[in-house]
């Protein structure tokens, strides 16, 4: 039994700004004039990425009652708190509630590199370098992801893994916001039960 638990723990997908494959680990807190400075907050980073996806990117799609992001972070470089870099395969979808089901209205994929900075209110996205669509897609993705391209390609091309991640983000959002739903349904597909 403990072996199964160890395997599950080792195979858990890292999806936040505090990802272990960060290029530089968070700095230790230092104290100057009785104030803590130069501390990277991965939760604030996660919140900033989700906020950007839901309230900037999500607003570009047909509106729904709820906008829920599912960012898969490939790598993070937090060496400069005025330019934290987050490479990821970023998804956002808008949903309406119908009975006990979230029905997908709109949404899509926006892989690329987000630049964030630390502010008095936490972290905020200052720039987003998005992988191009169409003919320039591969060249653009390789340029943006660099030596992280293979990791990006692995998640971006694995629909089963992406869907598993999306369902977990939806389930977490539903719990956090006490929504009376148990299922999610994409247009033209059967409803799927959310993970517990």
Per-residue pLDDT of the chain (196 residues; tens, 9 = 90+): 333 333 333 333 445 776 544 444 444 444 455 454 557 788 999 999 999 999 999 999 999 999 999 999 999 999 998 999 999 999 999 999 999 999 999 999 999 999 999 988 889 999 999 999 999 999 999 999 999 999 999 999 999 999 999 999 999 999 999 999 999 999 999 999 999 8
Spatial distance between the Cα atoms of 22 and 17, rounded to a whole number of angstroms: 8
Q: Tell me, what's the pLDDT at 48?
A: 96
Enter the tokens of residue 65: 């009652």
Distances 184 to 44, 69, 94, 163 between C-alpha atoms, Å: 27, 14, 11, 11
Q: Tell me, what's the pLDDT at 98?
A: 97
Q: Tell me, what's the pLDDT at 18?
A: 66
Spatial distance between the Cα atoms of 155 and 141, rounded to a whole number of angstroms: 13
Q: Tell me, what's the pLDDT at 96?
A: 97
What residues does 125 pair with on adjacent strands? 116
Q: Tell me, what's the pLDDT at 15?
A: 57
DSSP H helical segments within the chain, as ranges? 2-10, 42-52, 137-145, 149-156, 159-176
Listed residue (42, 55, 174) closest to 116, CA to CA: 42
């Amino acid at each position: 039994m403990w072996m199964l638990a160890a395997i599950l723990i080792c195979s858990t997908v890292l999806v936040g700004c505090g990802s272990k494959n960060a290029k530089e680990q968070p700095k230790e807190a230092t104290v100057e004039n009785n104030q803590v400075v130069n501390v990277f907050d991965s939760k604030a980073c996660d919140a900033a990425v989700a906020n950007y996806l839901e309230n900037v990117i999500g607003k570009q799609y047909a509106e729904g009652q709820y906008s829920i992001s599912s960012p898969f972070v490939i790598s993070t470089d937090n060496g400069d708190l005025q330019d934290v870099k987050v490479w990821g395969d970023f998804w956002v979808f808008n949903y309406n509630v119908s009975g006990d089901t979230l029905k997908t209205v709109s949404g899509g994929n926006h892989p690329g590199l987000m630049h964030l900075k630390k502010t008095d209110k936490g972290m905020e996205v200052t720039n987003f370098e998005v992988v191009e669509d169409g003919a320039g897609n591969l060249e653009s993705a390789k340029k943006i992801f660099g030596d992280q391209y293979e990791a990006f390609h692995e998640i971006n091309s694995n629909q089963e893994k992406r869907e598993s991640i999306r369902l977990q983000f939806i389930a977490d959002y539903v719990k956090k916001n006490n929504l009376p739903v148990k299922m999610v349904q994409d247009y033209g597909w059967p409803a799927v039960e959310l993970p517990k």
